[in-house]
């Protein structure tokens, strides 16, 4: 699974570390833009193999990704 996160999110480093811990075998990259303008600055967002997800918290985002 290919996971992309936006570098504009305020806690990008924390999000990237938690994703790496939860999804050890998957590729996690930080991109300058994942086409979720303005949402990515406020909430944790990710693009997983082209599917875009957002959540209120990092743990909720990880839960949504795990369900895919």
Q: What are the tens digits of pLDDT across the range 7-30? A: 999 999 999 999 999 999 999 999
| Confidence grade of residue 37 (pLDDT, cut at 50, 70, 90) | confident
Is the dihedral angle over the CA atoms 9, 29, 23, 38 positive or is it negative?
A: positive
Q: Which two tokens stand for residue 46?
A: 């990710």
Average pLDDT rounded to a whole number, residues 29-47: 92
Domain count, the chain: 1
* Domain assignment of residue 54, given as a range: 2-67
State if pTM tops 0.85: yes
């Amino acid at each position: 699974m290919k996971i992309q996160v936006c570098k504009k999110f305020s806690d990008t480093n924390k999000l990237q570390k938690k994703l790496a811990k939860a999804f050890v075998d998957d590729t996690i990259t930080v991109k300058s833009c994942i086409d979720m303008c303005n949402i990515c600055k406020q909430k944790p967002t990710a693009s997983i193999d082209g599917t875009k997800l957002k959540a209120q918290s990092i743990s909720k985002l990880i839960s949504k990704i795990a369900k895919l």
